[in-house]
Chain A
């Protein structure tokens, strides 16, 4: 475990500027009052029904993600750099997608190996040659960031398909404002509540050319048994659009229609929260019950827009991740504002040998894994766990990448014993349509267990309100 972690609030004994006002707030709060507030927050989350499902653990499947009341704070200067870096990444990732489904210039130029793209499980030959409206494939890019020092931010991974969690960003703020209105008078905090309107505008801006008049946008959900169903219905509500399941839509005359009580209504933009494989049984998995038969024919002939565009996943695979700085240079002619975490790809012989020798120091992940499942955090694992993982790695090296165990920054967090530093990351949500937009904030995830570096909600992680201070 790294011993020296950057504490975002304290530099030695002194309090860093963005947290100055929170120190008084923190000290002025009696324990009983804090416990009361914590209970109040939990009741609020329960009442609005914001839960998530944890797989394979038994017990109450609809759990609350623990909410920590201690906010995470960025200065305007810090945020501006992050914003520049995130938008730059979102532009490069979209340029890459447009390219690999088009002429493949970056591959012809020898900057990206063909096999990594064209043999990738997320590459969809079915959309080769398709140019989605405005050339955008990934309309919501979730960029996972970690911090290791005052100026040191690293991108941990990109999420180009359907990054979840934005409802927590909005609800965390809502609940903090309700419980501590004074804090929001004392601190000048940039609002995040414009996100749903911005998302709606972004989606409307990618309506296909065939669309007539005001575009009809819908959110397509796999249904209420999905762990993110709450978020789907929340976003539909906040945007004022219909939440639909596959059976609510149908295809006729080269267009997509929604069944309504007043008869069929044409749909122009589908914000889908289901995977490519399930979108259309006539193009992908024939056994899918979640999709809309014939949807891909309409999409490919320009009759409807799908966000994210089918095939977008080829840009956020963990092996492709290592090439994002190269994409930024190739497509934008710029140097990356945000750095990648150095990554060893076990598909490469030298990297693989290094990883095998240093398993105890590294974080090892599956190339296509997510949610913190199937990963090894070397320094906090037992010998037996490391050896068990080694066996899996040896069985299929190409399935794994490894990274150094980063000394993730900490922020003060309310724990049973009072207040203690806990490790955090950050996921902002970048919107890409006619314009590229980013609300000042994001989802801060916190590893609630002492010393833990795994912030995933499925692995004992919680969430915090994330502040960006105005100038």
Chain B
């Protein structure tokens, strides 16, 4: 597919800020499932800073803005040719060993309920791929999609206890469950093209990847009960949502309330 993305993130401040700094993970990953035709990231009246590819293979770009600032706006526009690899991240170069994704963060720390869910899901399944599919299905079943039920800092354990959540919670819970049975897993952020028929919900999306011997990293989208295909654009990864965040930023100043406005449109074009 040819997917087009238009994504604007606007931070509005109630009082002028002294400046802002951002670290952006907003560039399509380079692997066999994605070919970037063009891609542009721009921060309004920002100064472009460091640009490099990190150990996980993500391109990262730093930006800074001088104050006084009333708002910061990050715009992404681009076009990516995607291929369905059944979720396999083939041909992706990275330096972080899979074993580093066995260590939990506070967001992915398994509790007794997550451990029980994971153990029950894989019972009787020998093969790693089968185990991963079962974990994903179990998480999808245990956590019902409901926007607003959770917030940015909800942990995997909390979301499972609640039985509700959004894609971030599904991904965290799947990472935790995979770690319980000794499978390295990580959080992936990206975009999803949601057609009229599909059940897919969020255009700015997140899912999990699980490391499977022989296959490498394989994506699992528990929120949509599938593996990422050509409707997905992968941006970057981390051990949890915070580490994989497409935008990590900080405005300098005090006494100001921040308001966030996000517009994302992912479309498919014929070619």
State the A residues within 8 Å of B (CB).
101-102, 104, 107, 114-115, 118-121, 123, 125-130, 250-255, 281-283, 286, 293-294, 296-298, 300-303
Contact = CB atoms under 8 A, between A and B. Distances in A.
B95 A251 contact: no
B99 interface: yes
B62 A254 contact: yes
A128 B95 contact: yes
A128 B64 contact: no
B184 to A, nearest CB: 9
Contact of A251 (B60, B64, B99): B64
A310 to B, nearest CB: 12
B49 A254 contact: yes
B23 A294 contact: yes
A254 B50 contact: yes
A119 B98 CA distance: 10
A121 B64 CA distance: 30
A255 B252 CA distance: 18
A341 B22 CA distance: 46
Contacts, number: 108
A104 B242 CA distance: 26
A119 B249 contact: no
Contacts of B48: 253-254
B75 to A, nearest CB: 19
B23 A125 contact: no
Given A126-B55, A252-B47, A282 B249 contact: yes
Contact-size category for B? 20 to 34
Nearest to A123: B100
Given A114-B97, A115-B99, A286-B248, A129 B49 contact: no
Contacts of B22: 282, 294
A302 B62 CA distance: 13
Contact of B21 (A129, A294, A301, A302): A294
B15 to A, nearest CB: 19
A301 B51 contact: yes
B264 interface: no
Contacts of A120: 103
B50 A300 contact: yes
A128 B100 CA distance: 10
A237 B48 CA distance: 35
Q: B19, B52, B102, B252: which has the most chain A beta carbons within 10 Å?
A: B52
Interface string B28-58: 0000000000000000000111111011100
B103 A251 contact: no
A320 to B, nearest CB: 15
Nearest to B56: A125
B120 interface: no
Given A114-B97, A301-B52, A252 B250 contact: no
B239 interface: yes
Interface string B247-265: 0111010000000000000
A118 B102 contact: yes
Contacts of A282: 21-23, 248-250
21 contacts: A104-B97, A119-B102, A120-B103, A125-B96, A125-B101, A129-B94, A130-B55, A251-B21, A251-B62, A252-B64, A253-B49, A254-B51, A282-B23, A283-B23, A286-B250, A293-B21, A294-B21, A294-B64, A297-B23, A300-B60, A301-B52
A306 to B, nearest CB: 14
Contacts of B47: 252-253
Given A128-B55, A129-B95, A252 B100 contact: no
A208 to B, nearest CB: 12
Contact of A129 (B55, B101, B243, B249): B55
A189 to B, nearest CB: 47
A154 B86 CA distance: 55
A469 B174 CA distance: 63
B245 to A, nearest CB: 9
A119 B51 contact: no
Closest 6 A/B residue pairs (Cβ): A128-B55, A129-B95, A301-B50, A297-B62, A129-B55, A118-B99
B232 to A, nearest CB: 23
A252 B19 CA distance: 11
A102 B54 CA distance: 12
Given A252-B47, A286-B248, A293-B250, A300 B100 contact: no
A137 to B, nearest CB: 14
Given A250-B21, A281-B250, 10 more contacts: A104-B97, A125-B101, A126-B243, A252-B64, A254-B51, A286-B250, A294-B22, A296-B23, A298-B50, A300-B60
Interface string B64-104: 10000000000000000000000000000011110111110
A129 B101 CA distance: 16
A46 to B, nearest CB: 38
Contacts of A129: 54-55, 94-96
B55 A127 contact: yes
A125 B55 contact: yes
Contacts of A300: 50, 52, 54, 60
Nearest to B60: A297
